[in-house]
Amino acid sequence: MTHPTTTGQRVHPAAKMYAEEYKAGQLSRREFLVRSTALGMSAAAAYALIGVKPAMAQRATPPEGGRLRIQMEVRALKDPRSYDWSQMANVTRGFLEYLVEYNADGSFSGVLLDSWEANDDATQYTLRLRPGVTWNNGDAFTAADVAANFEGWCEGDVEGNSMAARMGSLVDPDTNRAVEGGIVVVDDLTVQINYPTPDITLIPGIADYPSAIQHRDLIGSNPQDHGVGTGAYRIASYEVGVQATLERNPDHTYWGDAYLDQIDFIDLGQDPAAWLAGAEAGEFDMTYETVGEFVDLFTAIGWTESEVTTAATVVIRPNQNNAPYDDVRVRRAVAMAVDPQVCLDLGINGQGILAENHHVCPIHPEYAELPPITVDKDAAFAMLEEAGQADHEFEIVSIDDDYRRNTTDAVAAQLRDAGFNVTRTVIPGSTFWNDWTSYPFSSTNWNHRELGVQILNLAYRSGVAWNESGFANEEFDTLLDQANGIQDADARREVMTRLQTIMQEEGVTLQPYWRSLYRHYTPNVINADMHPKFEINVHYLGVEA
């Protein structure tokens, strides 16, 4: 599938500034691409602005036809706005497409959007749709569809709708609906988004997996129930926990390119040993993800290894709506007792870098370097005693898998070493996924996001759907609003310094490391490299005979 670049486009003033910062060595290439393409530059134009040839390899053109089998959990589908696992979107991406996509080099490119641009202060975005796209029910894809999706994303009172957090000030806090005049249909192929205050996160937000575009009459529905989309495929079968099959839709003329006739997503459970056994038995051709010691084992059997550096991570967080985690002394004691290096080594076999318990990554443009965190087990237990919780039984819950279970085990062991009374509870995914935001003390994986403010908006703003820590802090929310509107990352970093510090001071979460992600596939699979956000777009994949 190819996306044409925009020629003769306006160069946003901020993009010019970013280019100068890149040339001066103040920005990495990834940071430059994230910032400039989010404001509307095509990747090709952004590369040209800094005089560099595109770093991302062009996708190969696979032969037509064939079947591909992918090892991946098959989870129950629901309203895409409430998708909370990438695996859901990887199946429906075969027919439910996105306005934009995030690429491995850090750039954004259009899918159902042909182009977009932001005004100088990022309060207004003009979105131009790709012409000639149709839904598989025969309807034309128009600006009315895009506007309806934005309206749905802004419905802040819909349970589980994490898109409302991504919409920022476009959501009226008094009505939990889009602000008046915020979403304007200019013509059949143009939508204008008008923010009350500057916001740099729009494009990254609508590139995330819960932002799949539904037909204007089907907002809020489960796509498995209707199958309406713009993509080349349709669901042939779907059995949760077993297998999902996509097949090319013979009744739909797709606007782009697609190669495979059939894609099977095969659920082999949480144990990587079962994945390796399945690979050796020839049961599938590509992993969703390869973890820990199994990275080397898959490579050893002759499969192709793909690695990408990301801001993906694991958090082991107390929920502040549950005692004793409503006491900051308890939360700080937990953080002080745990060495992130031990979690990195034992949790993911050292395949990543250390983090600092504030969920903002060094690869995020606005990351602020803080003093090293303190690990002191004696001081941690003394603080626990001060809080009157020395005898409390700390139950820590995790899913029964590899790296999340191992990381949580490492946390539990260190707390025990510090004198804490700890119980570990390991439960199957089918149970864990239903309640992941509500456990008093548990671990969860988080995907890469392009900007630090995205993560903080999604996970730590008061009351948002994915706020699993129960953290609510007025100063934090106010500063986050301010940071969302600052285009210059250096200026945003000044605010981020305080935001990251608040996270540490309040003991919001244990967030010990940033993960390198791995995927393996057989040598005949084409365009299957690991994506920083676990995305699998089946339209790009192919197999050689």
Choosing among 3.30.2310.20, 3.10.105.10, 3.40.50.720, 3.90.1150.10, the CATH entry for 309-515 is 3.10.105.10
pLDDT value at 57 more than 70: no
Instruction: Count CA within 13 A, CB hemisphere, residue 445.
Output: 26
Delimit the domains of the chain by residue range: 13-55+96-225, 309-515
Element (H, E) at 432: helix 429-432
The pLDDT of residue 290 is 97
| SS3 state at 239 | strand
> Helices marked H in 135-258 — which ranges?
143-153, 163-166, 202-206, 223-226
| SS3 state at 129 | strand
**Alpha carbon distance 121, 198 (integer Å):** 6
Token pair recorded at residue 359: 């969920």
Contact between 512 and 407 under an 8 Å Cβ cutoff? The reply is yes
**Alpha carbon distance 357, 417 (integer Å):** 20
Amino acid at 343: C
Prior bond to 63 cis, omega within 30? no
Query: CATH 3.90.76.10: does it fit domain 13-55+96-225?
Result: yes
Contact between 266 and 72 under an 8 Å Cβ cutoff? The reply is yes
Contact between 176 and 155 under an 8 Å Cβ cutoff? The reply is yes
| Alpha-carbon dihedral sign for residues 530, 532, 538, 539 | negative
For the chain, give the mean pLDDT: 94
Using alpha carbons, select from 527, 522, 520 the residue that is nearest to residue 60. Answer: 527
* Strand ranges for 319-417 from DSSP E: 352-354, 393-399
Buried residues in 41-60 as b, exposed as e (16+ CB within 10 A): bbbbbbbebbeeeeeeeebe
pLDDT digits (tens, 9 = 90+) for 175-210: 999 999 999 999 999 999 999 999 999 999 999 999
| SS3 state at 409 | helix
Contact between 173 and 429 under an 8 Å Cβ cutoff? The reply is no
* Strand ranges for 249-291 from DSSP E: 262-266, 286-287
* Strand ranges for 243-372 from DSSP E: 243-248, 262-266, 286-287, 304-318, 352-354
pLDDT digits (tens, 9 = 90+) for 268-301: 998 999 999 999 999 999 999 999 999 999 999 9
pLDDT digits (tens, 9 = 90+) for 437-496: 999 999 999 999 999 999 999 999 999 999 999 999 999 999 999 999 998 888 999 999
Q: Binning pLDDT at 50, 70 and 90, where does residue 56 land?
A: low
User: How much is the pTM?
Assistant: 0.90
> pLDDT above 70 covers what percent of the chain?
97
* Strand ranges for 258-348 from DSSP E: 262-266, 286-287, 304-318
Beta bridge partners of 128: 115, 190
